[in-house]
Amino acid sequence: MSAVDVPEQESWFHRNQQRIAPWLFLAPGLLFFMVYVIIPVFQSFNLSLYEWDGLGAAEYVGFRNYEDLYWEWADRDAFYISLKNNLIWLLLYLAAIPAGLFIALFLNQTVWGIRLYKSLFFFPFVISQVVVGLVFTWFYDPTFGLLNEFLGFFGLGRLNVLGDERFVTYGIIFAGLWPQTAYCMILYLTGLNAVDPEQIEAGRLDGAKGARMLWHIILPQLRPATFIAFVVTIIGALRSFDLISIMTQGGPFGSSRVLAYYMFEVALSEYGFRMGYGAAIAVILFLIMLCFIAYFLWSMYREERGH
Amino acid sequence: MFPKPIEKQPRAAQITYKAMLPVALLLWLGPLLAVALFSIKPEADFTNANYWGMPSRFEGAFNYGQVFFNSDMPRYLMNSFLITIPTVLGCVALSSMTGFALGIYKFKSNIWIFFMFVAGNFVPFQILMVPVRDLTLELGLYNTKTGLVLFHIAFQTGFCTLFMRNFIRALPFELIEAARVEGISEWRIFWYVVLPLMKPAIAALSVLIFTFIWNDYFWAVVLTQGAESQPVTAGITSFNAQFRAAYQLMSAGSIVAALPPVAMFFLMQKHFIAGLTLGAVK
């Protein structure tokens, strides 16, 4: 760029400033996001058509990875179990929403010290899932865990939750519900703060109270909170990785795997580096997530139009 | 207010409620309190199977001393800070610009770019895993804090843009129009008019991103390996392998690892909650 051009360029820039400015502001963020998020999604799609150990040359295999996944499904093998567990996670994780609402209603009072109580109830969400996982591993421990002390107190037999294929997934989900419920609780507490007191009064005059009041007057006003709770809970359920990795590493005998964990196991652990196969699993997980993402975006789009 | 304020209930209900609060809290935090109890017990208590009784003597100082002076824990903690803080700064810088662009200017692709950020933010990590790991390897940043920071900045920009854009949308647009009439350049409008108004949003995002990144485990495992670059979430597993069956030390380690975001939350509670509700619930 020679010095002579500068004044002319500046004035052109000046005239078109409002058209160019947004792109200049977007450029760094967009570049980062493209390189690290958007492009990798497509790369993974592409990679799922190859067989690759991460080092040598990748071999194009068409849809064979997906065929293999289909056979795993048909044989009720790892992929089937992961998918089934993902479904269980999705359904049971949603319990965090009513549970969070319940605690929020319980805490929505103005007695002395209630602020501290609210903060302490929120605690589990702030600590890392790794620590939550450790805490619950000990909670379930067959020799000294609190759960078994508890069961013993009531004269019930010992339970090895994390070592039993029948209970393991439910045990991990229960651990996950702890922080997730705290999150939903805080969403509802904020929502309850904004509920219109006049409508409550009007409802009271009409003789509504308790559950009827909650259902007909409070919940409709909590819709934005419920929507966000729904979004974060679904995403959380499909992202479940940390807890499984810490608590069971997918065991016993792979019975607590979910897609997110199985993918990692296939692509990056002792089972060898099957990157293409892992990518195929990731694509399936992505497609499941995409249904929800599309729904969220659609809701947001309608909201935007509404304004 | 719903439910009906407890002060307007009969006295018995008030007393029951006030008695239930601490009990409920104790149950709710039970598993965590158990770990706190473990962390101050002497090793002998575990060999004598005194898991839940009173500690035979207070060994908290010794246990935490072990964590801080006799393990890699300080290193992991340092790494966590060196990963988390640059990420927070990077995210805030990038997203206040993208949020400004998408919140202020009207152009055709605006909403689509916005949706791209939002959608990208919801993507499962696994679909990014292999390409991001390769990219990091190619850049020579595998097993470095920088590699982790760059990815975190990029990924969190999605969420941050959503947040910033919505916040800027709610600002009075007349301010910007007035500035434009005065002939102030767009960059100066951003810097002198909008940025000062964004302070609450920046505070909210900073605490939130701090917590998210501090607690990240997946990417720490995928992109780093040893004590020289791993953050505390990943480090704690090696720590636990080192002190296998030393429950008092593992407990103390976990508490230390969990503490910084907890402190952050208590210091900046108001901002934290404003951030979590994505500004959608006021």
For residue B117, the chain A residues in CB contact (below 8 A) are 33
- For residue B251, which of B77, B25, B34 has the smallest C-alpha distance? B34
Does B78 have pLDDT greater than 60?
yes
Place A2 in a pLDDT band, splitting at 50, 70 and 90: very low
Cα separation, A79 vs A281, whole angstroms: 8
Shortest Cα distance, chain B CAs vs residue A152, angstroms: 13
pLDDT greater than 90 at residue B2: no
Mean of pLDDT values over A122-129: 91
Of A12-21, A27-36, A131-140, give the lowest mean pLDDT range. A12-21
Residue spans per domain, chain B:
6-61, 69-276
pLDDT band at A261, cuts 50/70/90? very high
* A126 at interface of B, judged by CB pairs closer than 8 A: yes
- pLDDT tier for residue B237 given thresholds of 50, 70 and 90: confident
Q: Is the pLDDT of residue B269 over 60?
A: yes
Residues of B in contact with A18 (CB under 8 A): 105, 186
Report the C-alpha gap between A59 and A62 in whole angstroms.
9
- Residue-wise pLDDT tens digits, A165-221: 999 999 999 999 999 999 999 999 989 988 888 888 888 888 887 888 888 888 999
pLDDT at residue number A1: 44
Nearest Cα residue in chain B from A204: B4
Interface subset of B 146-185, CB within 8 angstroms of A:
150-151, 153-155, 157-158, 161, 185
For range A99-123, the mean pLDDT: 91
A contact residues 233-272, partner B, Cβ 8 Å cutoff: 235, 238-239, 241-242, 245-246, 259-260, 263-264, 267-268
- Proportion of chain B above pLDDT 70, given as a percent: 98
* A302 interfaces chain B, CB cutoff of 8 Å: no
Cβ–Cβ below 8 Å for A281 and B32: no
The mean pLDDT value for A138-165 works out to 86
Q: Which residue of A has its CA nearest to B215?
A: A128
A26: nearest CA partner in chain B: B98
How far is B54 from B216, CA to CA, in rounded Å? 34
Domains, chain A: 3-47 (no CATH), 71-306 (1.10.3720.10)
Q: What is the mean pLDDT of residues B112-136?
A: 94
Residue among B101, B157, B264 minimizing CB distance to A32? B157
pLDDT over 60 at B277, yes or no:
yes
Q: Decide: helix, strand or coil at residue A272.
A: strand
CATH architecture of B69-276: Orthogonal Bundle (1.10)
Contact B105 A194 (CB under 8 A): no
CA A130 to CA A64: how far, in whole Å?
35
Average pLDDT score, chain B? 90
Kindly list the residues from chain A whose CB atom is less than 8 angstroms away from the CB atom of residue B116: 33, 38
Give the pLDDT score at B278: 62
A50 DSSP 8-state letter: E
Residue A8 has pLDDT above 70, yes or no: no
The token pair at B169 is: 């949308």
pLDDT at res. A271: 65
Answer yes or no: do A29 and B94 touch at CB < 8 A: yes
B149-197 pLDDT, tens digit per residue, is 999 999 999 999 999 998 999 888 898 999 988 888 899 999 999 999 9
C-alpha–C-alpha distance, residues B51 and B62, integer Å: 18
- The reply to whether residue A28 touches residue B119, judged by beta carbons under 8 angstroms, is no
pLDDT band per the 50, 70, 90 thresholds, residue B244 = confident
List CB contacts (< 8 A) between B124 and chain A.
238-239, 260, 282, 285-286, 289
Distance in angstroms (rounded) separating the CA atoms of residues A260 and B247: 29
Least reliable range by pLDDT among A159-168, A298-307, B126-135: A298-307
- Range with the lowest mean pLDDT among A266-275, B205-214, B215-224? A266-275
How confident is the model at residue B102, as a pLDDT?
95
> Percent of chain B, pLDDT > 90?
56
Residue A279 contacts B, CB cutoff 8 Å: yes
ipTM tops the 0.85 cut? yes
CA distance, residue B138 to nearest chain A CA (Å) = 12
Considering only CB atoms, which chain A residues are within 8 Å of B165? none
- Average pLDDT (A252-256) is 91
Contact A22 B282 (CB under 8 A): no
B143 vs A: CB within 8 A: no
pLDDT of residue A4: 45
Binning pLDDT at 50, 70 and 90, where does residue A307 land? low
Confidence of residue A156 (pLDDT cuts 50, 70, 90): confident
- Is A215 an interface residue toward B (CB < 8 Å)? no
Q: What is the nearest CA distance from B203 to chain A, expressed in angstroms?
A: 17
B165 alpha carbon, distance to own chain's centre: 20
Q: With 50 as the cut, is the pLDDT of residue A5 above it?
A: no
For residue A122, is pLDDT > 50? Answer: yes
- List alpha helices for chain A, DSSP H: 6-15, 17-33, 39-47, 64-74, 78-93, 96-107, 114-126, 129-139, 146-153, 168-193, 197-205, 210-213, 219-221, 223-239, 242-247, 259-268, 275-306
**More confident call, A51 vs B281:** A51
- Which of A46-55, A128-137, B81-90 is modeled with the greatest confidence? B81-90
Q: Is the peptide bond before A252 cis (omega within 30 degrees of 0)?
A: yes
* 3-state SS class at A60: strand
Contact B5 A109 (CB under 8 A): yes
pLDDT computed for residue B195 by the predictor: 93
